[in-house]
A and B are shown apart, each in its own frame.
Chain A
Amino acid sequence: MNLLRYIAGRLVVYVLVVIFALTVLFFVPRLGPTDPVEAMLAKVASQGAYMDAAQVDALRQSLADTFGLDGSLWDQYGAFIKRIVLTADFGPSLSMYPTPVMELIRNALPWTFGLLLSSTLIAWVLGNFVGLLSGWKPNSTSSRVMEGIAICLYPIPYYILALLLSILFSYIWKIFPLTTTIRGAPWSWELITSVVWNSFLPAMSIVIVVFGWWVISVKAQTTALKEEEFVRYARLKGLSDGRILSRYVLPNAILPQITFLALQIGLMFNGSLITEILFDYPGLGLLIYTAVLQGDFNLLMGTISLSVIAVATATMIIDLIYPLLDPRIRHR
């Protein structure tokens, strides 16, 4: 019963957060010194696209729709929220007219999720493994070296690492591609290797930084857990180091990481956006960048709203999963 109340409470907060975020998005264009529609039209015109007056008018109307500029501020706000929450319709893309924005997003999302999920997962597994071992034997040379490396890697922003990696492995030592070009028929071996090959450097830039973080935090946790009475008891039961680590230390070290992950998702998402842009990786980040460069405001509003909602949703899901994993909260 308690659990249900927790879930309900968390869902209410989630809805409020999404509405709050959309409210921010609604007001940002209205805070600017310039009229976004006219600024947009100027940008489109400056890119040398020739349009007759009727086309310009149609575009102006479409933009006014996007920003919901008709009616009173209150009407505009209501229409804006309703459109995003209920229909998830952001209109057609202006730079890739008439492809709907949602379709572009739908094509880009798997790339971003694939990149973020796989690299976080790899970093998490490696980081836990190394952090656990070096926390178990904190005074050994290898564990001190690993911690030193982790401390040097963690503070580096993803995009700086992305730059470093591309300088090292695409310019100086030309082994990986500079930009992403995917080749091959759907589901063919060629396509898969091409995806892995092209995703390697962008993924590495995320893996390395996140790895650094996990090593630092898991090591600290393991060192603390080692002193716990239940670990000492397990040792006096004659259990092997491997069993103590896997059944006693690891689960207790992983649990608090989950709440941390919820706080970190936004930062990781920020980082992956820039990494994608730097490597021309066809995900949400590149789509946002394209939208900015092309002045495609439908696409911009769509991608930004969706990123904000996606991060809020991911945070909520993690928050909801946490009590299911911790028996101390699950059975109260």
Chain B
Amino acid sequence: MAKFLADAPFRLYLGVVLVIVFIIFGGILPWFAPGDPLVWYTAPRNQNPSAAHWLGTTSLGQDVFWLLTYALRNSLILGLIVAGFSTVIGVFLGLAAGYAGGWLDRVLSFFMDALLCIPTLPILILMAALFGGQLALPIIGFALVLFNWPYPARQVRAVALTMREREFVNVAWFSGESSVRILVRHIFPYIAGWSAANFINTVLVGISTESALAVIGLSSAQQATLGTMIYWAINYQALLGGKYIWIGSPVVAIVLLFIGLFLVSSGVSMRSSARRMSI
């Protein structure tokens, strides 16, 4: 196993398989749920795993398996949206800063550096405490985008800065290609691989931060996420009652999902850097 993990392509494939399993789990399975798994007492309480309830039930009479699919769905949606917006905004502003230079570059760079050294979680906790004890998922998503766009932006800016000096960009410039075309045709291929890796990483960070907030009970209680599932399990004494599957299933899901995401992102960045070298 470890022997293959060190190998880039296999690492990538293993990660992709893991992530696809979770996407099926969270993206397709919820459609087949027998009912809303959030509703209490729709199943017998405190059941062990059985044919009817694959992962048993909670002490609130919820089916753990279907609850988990809902939690995964919401966590994935949040992660994807946060990563999508962060990457698009980051790439755009990074290109703008690196390509335009001057005062625009200075201002944007300052915001990138400043946002990078402000810890996200304390700010989110403050917001949660002020906005009535819990934060709705859209607000969490918004805040996460605000704090995560600088990562891609910084990288893209650095690439754009060096690209400005590269020969083939100059050639394109002097042969009268438009700026937009230069960006799309010559610069974007360079940052695409890295941006993809960063996108996946941001999915991970988004899910992780929301879960952190949820584990201490400051995320939305209206929606199931991987974190809130853990919070409910802790809150209703799943550990003292020895209900390890209830609390264990979201924990294991997070661990496997994150390992999968990390394998994909590191595999993608290894592959794209290998390809860049071979050019």
Contacts and interface: CB of A to CB of B under 8 A. Distances in A.
Interface of A: 13, 16-17, 20-21, 24-25, 28-29, 32-34, 36, 39, 43, 138, 141, 144-149, 151-152, 154-157, 159-160, 163-164, 167, 171-172, 262-263, 265-267, 269-271, 273-274, 277-278, 288-289, 291-292, 295, 297, 300-301, 303-304, 307-308, 311-312, 315-316
B119 A34 contact: no
A277 B127 CA distance: 18
B192 interface: no
A28 B123 contact: yes
A74 to B, nearest CB: 21
B117 A315 contact: yes
B176 interface: no
Contact of A151 (B122, B251, B262): B262
A171 B238 CA distance: 11
B247 interface: yes
B31 interface: no
Nearest to A315: B117
B118 A304 contact: no
Interface string B110-127: 100110111111110111
Contacts of A295: 129
B216 A291 contact: no
Given A145-B2, A307-B122, A157 B258 contact: yes
Interface stretch (B60-68, B96-104, B205-213): B205-213
Contact of B117 (A25, A144, A270, A312): A312
Interface residues of B, number: 50
10 shortest A-B CB distances, which residue pairs? A148-B2, A155-B262, A155-B258, A270-B121, A266-B119, A315-B117, A145-B2, A148-B5, A292-B129, A17-B114
B131 A149 contact: no
- Between B1, B212, B248, B263, the greatest number of chain A beta carbons within 10 A of the residue's beta carbon is seen for B212
Contacts of B240: 171
30 contacts: A20-B114, A28-B126, A33-B131, A34-B130, A145-B2, A148-B1, A151-B259, A154-B262, A155-B204, A155-B262, A157-B211, A160-B211, A167-B248, A171-B239, A269-B119, A270-B121, A273-B122, A274-B121, A289-B216, A292-B125, A292-B128, A295-B129, A297-B129, A300-B126, A300-B129, A304-B125, A304-B126, A308-B118, A308-B119, A315-B117
B123 to A, nearest CB: 7
B contact patch SS: helix
B130 A39 contact: yes
B156 interface: no
B255 A160 contact: yes
B78 interface: no
Contact of A274 (B120, B216, B242, B254): B216
Given A17-B113, A151-B263, A304 B122 contact: yes
Given A17-B114, A151-B259, A266-B116, A308 B131 contact: no
Contact of B132 (A39, A155, A308): A39
Contacts of B258: 155-157
A147 B6 contact: yes
Interface in B243-259: 244, 247-248, 251, 254-255, 258-259
Contact of A311 (B113, B118, B242, B248): B118
Contacts of B43: none
A160 B262 contact: no
B224 interface: no
A16 B110 contact: yes
Given A148-B6, A171-B242, A274-B215, 8 more contacts: A21-B114, A24-B118, A28-B130, A147-B5, A151-B262, A270-B122, A271-B212, A274-B212
Contacts of A160: 211, 251, 254-255
Contacts of B132: 34, 39
A266 B123 CA distance: 12
Interface string B131-161: 1110000000000000000000000000000
Nearest to B261: A155
Contacts of B218: 292
B110 A29 contact: no
A304 B123 contact: yes
A158 to B, nearest CB: 8
Given A149-B2, A311-B119, A157 B208 contact: yes
B122 A308 contact: yes
Contacts of B117: 17, 262, 265-266, 311-312, 315-316
Nearest to A14: B117
- Between B11, B240, B247, B254, the greatest number of chain A beta carbons within 10 A of the residue's beta carbon is seen for B254
Contacts of B251: 160, 163-164, 167
Contacts of B118: 17, 20-21, 24, 266, 308, 311-312
Contacts of B123: 24-25, 28, 304, 308
- Between B116, B117, B123, B215, the greatest number of chain A beta carbons within 10 A of the residue's beta carbon is seen for B117
B242 to A, nearest CB: 8
B3 interface: yes
A172 B230 CA distance: 17
B254 A157 contact: yes
Nearest to A311: B119
